[in-house]
């Protein structure tokens, strides 16, 4: 009897530890997400305020993003090797492995924005250009924040909303691009500035896309369905029939 | 005896099937890689020859790339769930999951190039611009081909060479970008053409980066070491001490 109970305890202990590990990778993804959000915020502030020192700090801090990603990735491989998760737990680990790749690449975009912020101190952008970038950045930051929120609750509805909202961001991005092209054609001397604005907008638009990727993983986790490459209308229709 | 031998056979049978599955995902990655290579080749040919029909075919065929990726991804999750691989086999599955994401995104870049090829039929690029793009594309295609070759043989030295060669591609890319900026400033009317050239170059440069990602996964598979975010010089030094 004593032996059985011991083995029961051991089993319970291992199972608790395993639950703890799964919780841990989830909360570490959110910590990485928080860091990446800060990086975007700082990069945009460096840009708007022409703060070169802050821009350099963003570039330097990208190392922190990278090492967090590597460390979570290693923890995931450890869990796969030692715990051999199945079903929902397995989907969680796979989703975490993919999500952190996107978060790390969002970090790279923040670094790119910081570099362009440094460039722009050489040939400042107009107030109008900065305001438009700030607006686009604010919307993209909401997308990422909502994507991380959908991840933290593994909530399909919030995830779908992000994918839907990204369309608005795409439109704002297209509008900035069109304006910069006319700007260049009217005043060729403004080319370097306008190109910096275009590259920054592009980085912001990519952050929106990657936030959508994270939401697709959330839906895959919750529903066991891979919705990548399917239109949002089709996905909503499919899910409503369940 | 008979029973033992049966179970032995069964075990051997399952193990053979498992080996077959691991071989299968590897060869399917190479098939996906081959398709993506064709997509790039066609997109660049559509661009150089102004072949709108071919460009539309590239855009349409991106669906094939997407469904291959989803299908390999599902097979990987199945293997993780049913075979619970460990050590090298586990690393292989994780590497495949990551590699196909990069291949699918390379496919997206081919689609972007095809879209710009269609744009460029409205305002044709100069021969010089096309020749430079063709050269950059040729080098990038070699990078991707070598990365897939490194993957097929899981060969660290070839993988390191790709990461090294990508620096040359980055330089060519920078040079095209600089030329287009002066081009725009000299002749603002050329802005739409020059911007298309810049976006295409950017897509090609990103394909080079993603080929490097694949090589990093190959090194992780072979050495069990995550070399992302480490300089190539440091990696070569670390590996030579083994």
Domain boundaries, chain A: 9-237
Out of A70, A81, A188, closest to residue B226 by CB? A70
Out of A80, A98, A184, closest to residue B184 by CB? A184
Helical segments of A154-190, H only: 156-186
Closest Cα to residue B86, out of A72, A80, A75?
A80
Does A14 score more than 50 pLDDT?
A: yes
Q: What is the pLDDT of residues A167-214, one digit of tens each?
A: 999 999 999 999 999 999 999 899 999 999 999 999 999 999 999 999
Of B62, B226, B231, B234, which to mutate for an interface test with A (greatest number of A Cβ within 10 Å)? B226
Residues 170-199 of B with CB under 8 A from A: 181, 184-186, 188-189, 191-192, 195
Out of B186, B191, B228, closest to residue A181 by CB? B191
Q: Walk along chain B (242 residues) in steps of 10 and give the mean pLDDT of each run.
A: 63 86 97 98 97 98 96 96 92 97 97 97 93 97 98 97 97 96 91 95 97 96 81 77 62
B209 near A CB under 8 A: no
Does A55 score more than 70 pLDDT?
A: yes
- Could you tell me how far CA A124 lies from the centroid of its own chain? 28
Out of B80, B191, B228, closest to residue A185 by CB? B191
Does A2 score more than 70 pLDDT?
A: no
Distance from C-alpha of B111 to C-alpha of B114, rounded to nearest angstrom: 5
Query: Mean of the pLDDT values across residues A4-29?
Result: 85
Q: What was the pLDDT predicted at A241?
A: 62
Burial B153-171 (b: 16+ CB within 10 A, else e): ebbbebbbbbbebbeebee
Tell the residue number behind the tokens 């611009």, with chain if given: B129
Tell me the shortest Cα–Cα distance from A191 to chain B, in angstroms.
7
Nearest CA in chain A to B73: A226
A188 and B192 within 8 Å at the Cβ level: the answer is no
Out of A77, A90, A98, closest to residue B81 by CB? A90
B185 and A189 within 8 Å at the Cβ level: the answer is yes
Q: What was the pLDDT predicted at A143?
A: 98
A231 near B CB under 8 A: no
A229 and B63 within 8 Å at the Cβ level: the answer is yes
Give the helix/strand (H/E) hosting B88.
Answer: helix B87-120
The chain-wide mean pLDDT, for chain A, equals 93
- The model's pTM is 0.91
Which pLDDT band, with edges at 50, 70 and 90, does A4 fall under?
low
Does A30 score more than 80 pLDDT?
A: yes
- Could you tell me how far CA A60 lies from the centroid of its own chain? 19
Residues in chain B closer than 8 A to A224 (CB atoms): none
Fold of A9-237: Methane Monooxygenase Hydroxylase; Chain G, domain 1 (1.20.58)
Which pLDDT band, with edges at 50, 70 and 90, does A15 fall under?
confident
Does A18 score more than 50 pLDDT?
A: yes
A73 near B CB under 8 A: yes
Q: What was the pLDDT predicted at A51?
A: 97
Q: What was the pLDDT predicted at A88?
A: 93
Tell me the shortest Cα–Cα distance from A123 to chain B, in angstroms.
15
Q: What was the pLDDT predicted at B4?
A: 53
Tell me the shortest Cα–Cα distance from B50 to chain A, in angstroms.
23
Nearest CA in chain A to B84: A84
Considering only A68-82, A228-242, B80-94, B145-159, which range has the smallest mean pLDDT? A228-242
ipTM of the complex: 0.88
Q: What is the pLDDT of residues A84-107, one digit of tens each?
A: 999 999 999 999 999 999 999 999
B230 near A CB under 8 A: no
Distance from C-alpha of A231 to C-alpha of A237, rounded to nearest angstrom: 10
Closest Cα to residue B76, out of B95, B105, B97, B99?
B97
Out of B84, B90, B192, closest to residue A77 by CB? B90
B228 and A97 within 8 Å at the Cβ level: the answer is no
Tell the residue number behind the tokens 């697709």, with chain if given: A216
Four-CA torsion B211, B217, B218, B222, nearest 10 degrees = 170
Which pLDDT band, with edges at 50, 70 and 90, does A234 fall under?
confident
Q: How many residues in total does chain A contain?
A: 242
B2 near A CB under 8 A: no
- DSSP string across B173-223: HHHHHHHHHHHHHH-GGGHHHHHHHHHHHHHHHHHHHHHHHHHHHHHHHHH
Residue B225, classed as helix, strand or coil, is: coil
Nearest CA in chain B to A63: B229
Of A101, A225, A227, A230, which to mutate for an interface test with B (greatest number of B Cβ within 10 Å)? A101
Residues in chain A closer than 8 A to B77 (CB atoms): 90-91, 94
Tell me the shortest Cα–Cα distance from A137 to chain B, in angstroms.
21
Q: What is the pLDDT of residues A117-170, one digit of tens each?
A: 999 999 999 999 999 999 999 999 999 999 999 999 999 999 999 999 999 999
């Amino acid at each position: 009897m004593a032996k059985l109970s011991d083995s029961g305890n051991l089993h319970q202990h291992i199972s608790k530890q395993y639950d703890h590990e799964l919780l841990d990778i989830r909360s570490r993804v959110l910590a990485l997400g928080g860091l990446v959000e800060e990086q975007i915020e700082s990069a945009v502030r460096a840009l708007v305020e022409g703060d070169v020192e802050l821009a350099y700090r963003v570039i330097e801090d990208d190392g922190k993003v990278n090492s967090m990603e590597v460390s979570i990735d290693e923890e995931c491989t450890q869990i796969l090797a030692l715990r051999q998760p199945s079903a929902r737990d397995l989907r969680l680990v796979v989703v975490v492995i993919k999500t952190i790749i996107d978060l790390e690449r969002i970090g790279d975009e923040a670094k790119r924005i910081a570099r362009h912020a440094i460039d722009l101190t050489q040939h400042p952008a107009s107030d109008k250009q900065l305001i438009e970038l700030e607006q686009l950045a604010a919307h993209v930051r909401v997308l990422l924040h909502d994507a991380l929120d959908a991840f933290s609750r593994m909530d399909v509805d919030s995830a779908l909303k992000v994918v839907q909202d990204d369309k608005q961001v795409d439109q704002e991005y297209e509008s900035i691009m069109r304006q910069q092209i006319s700007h260049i054609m009217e005043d060729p001397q403004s080319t370097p500035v306008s190109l910096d604005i275009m590259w920054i907008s592009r980085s912001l638009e990519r952050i929106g896309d990657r936030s959508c990727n994270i939401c697709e993983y959330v839906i895959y986790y919750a529903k066991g369905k891979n919705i990548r490459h399917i239109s949002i209308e089709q996905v909503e229709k499919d899910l409503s029939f369940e």
